[in-house]
Amino acid sequence: MSARGLVHFDAHFANLLTDGQRMYFADFGLALSRDFDLTAEERDFLDDHLVYDRSYAPNHLLRHHLPNDVRGGTEHGAFLHEWVDGYQPADIPSDIAAIIDRHAPHAIVLDDFHHRLLTQSKRTPFPAAEVKRALAGATTPG
């Protein structure tokens, strides 16, 4: 979607549909597209946020869809920070560990952004460059 200049801004699994062959997105209430009639400021905002969905969907996966025992009671953000710092419990299945490995770095950036947005200022700037750097490091399949 981002390659076509569209950001969904709510790309989680409840907004994904499938017919068994293709995947479809639903609920475009927050979406922004370069095809909309945008001001210069809105175009800049869109350009800065084109990477948002690529981090939001995996962060949502890690926050809401990991099996309950994976985090061992640790808060989501703390778990991700510990994971990238090398604390990776040995009893986590390898396929789940691979998903966490791939997505934890950029999920941390987005999670920290959301935390600042909610607790500090609604004008907290989106850390697009930091998300892009974290995504660039996420090269292994998962």
| Per-residue exposure over 37-62, b if at least 16 CB sit within 10 Å of its own CB, e if not | eeeeeeeeebeebbbbbbbbbbbbbb
Q: Residue 138: its pLDDT value, please?
A: 63
In the chain the first and final C-alpha atoms are separated, in Å, by 20
pTM value is: 0.83
Query: For residue 46, is it within any domain?
Result: no
Residues 25, 76: one domain?
no
Read off the pLDDT band of 13 (50, 70, 90). confident
Average pLDDT of the residues in 75-97 = 94
Q: What is the pLDDT of residues 44-70, one digit of tens each?
A: 999 999 999 999 999 999 999 998 789
Q: What is the pLDDT of residues 88-125, one digit of tens each?
A: 998 999 999 999 999 999 999 999 999 999 999 999 99
The first and second tokens of residue 31, run together, are: 């979406």
Q: What is the total count of domains within the chain?
A: 2
Supply the range of the domain harboring residue 24. 1-40
Residues 14, 66: one domain?
no
Q: Are 51 and 128 in contact (CB under 8 A)?
A: yes
